[in-house]
Amino acid sequence: MIFVTDVLLWFAKNVFNTTSTFHSINKNEALLGSLMIHPVLQYLVNATKHVIYVPGEIYLKASANQRLLRRNLKPDDDKPLGMKVDGSFQFPDERGLEIGMVELSGGYLTNDLPRYLKDHVKGYWGCRDLLNDVITNFNHGDYKILRRLRVWFFHVHGLEVQIWGMDLPVSKVYRMFLMGTFQFPISWENHHELVHALRVLQNFRRGLDDTLKVLEEFKRSHRRNTLLRFQSIALKNYIGDAKSSPQKPTGKKSRIINPVEHHMHHDHDDSDYDDPPSPSPSGHSRYPHQLNSD
């Protein structure tokens, strides 16, 4: 309940206040991040079981690690940088494994649809790298535990927020699902939207805690199997084969997004596994569970 109180007080003092910069002519991305998104997410992780939130323009370490593997560079080659994101959620250990990313597609009250679409695709690739990086670090872990692991993408477009998750239900199939969506209000007249936002954010907090729990289980299975000198063949072939990183478009057509051609084929066989594919994530209704103090 402390998280709810902190967010309500922050909005009352810094957003709903008529002297706030949200009620001026300034509508840039830096303002949205520093006075709304980053404080709310910091309050959110304060209510989790030690998830670390890193705000600001940063390079995703998991992305850099996976680019290094994909490009098969020589020791004297320059190391690639990861994709630049507006924030990340990290596991609280010495490795600092990333379990989520944040992207702001412009300032509030803006409607840059091409940028939103580009960042949405960026979120998919980022989440894919997050999962692959976990497998790279703990490649002796049990794949049955891995299938329960989810990473997160917190996407802000104007004042609309979408919270996406990604997991690996079966071999080489990256499933991206929408956990919830809401709009942040900037005026008291729309304060009911904040109540709905808090419900979705509470579900997101539970999702982050669940990711920590599953990742701990996965790490323990990795250590156990390493001592037993056992490596799951299924896990070695679990992640998709990415030949190259997505190229950033350039030139006058850089903001044109062409549709993707879908090829109906399957590269996995459920009969390879002892248990069926993991269940689909439960959808998020507009009015879910009541807020509680857990």
Given this model, what pLDDT does residue 126 score? 95
Kindly state the average pLDDT of the residues 113-132: 93
Q: What is the DSSP string of 31-71?
A: HHIIIIIHHHHHHHHHTSSS-EEEEEEEE-HHHHHHHHHHH
Binning pLDDT at 50, 70 and 90, where does residue 285 land? very low
Residue 75 domain boundaries: 2-272
Residue 256 lies in a domain: yes
For the chain, the domain total comes to: 1
Residue 45 lies in a domain: yes
Residue 284 lies in a domain: no
Residue 21 lies in a domain: yes
Residue 279 lies in a domain: no
Q: What is the pLDDT of residues 236-264, one digit of tens each?
A: 566 765 555 556 666 655 555 554 444 44
Helix (H) or strand (E) holding 14: helix 2-14
Residue 38 lies in a domain: yes
Q: What is the pLDDT of residues 62-98, one digit of tens each?
A: 998 888 888 877 666 777 888 999 999 999 887 889 9
**Pick from 85-94, 192-201, 230-239: least confident:** 230-239
Q: What backbone phi and psi angles, to 5 degrees, belong to 268? A: -140, 160
Q: What is the pLDDT of residues 31-59, one digit of tens each?
A: 899 999 999 999 999 999 889 999 989 99
Residue 291 lies in a domain: no
Q: What long-range pairs does 175-180 form, CB within 8 A, spacing at least 24?
A: 175/280, 176/124, 176/127, 177/280, 177/281, 178/284, 179/152, 179/203, 179/204, 179/207, 179/281, 179/284, 180/204, 180/284
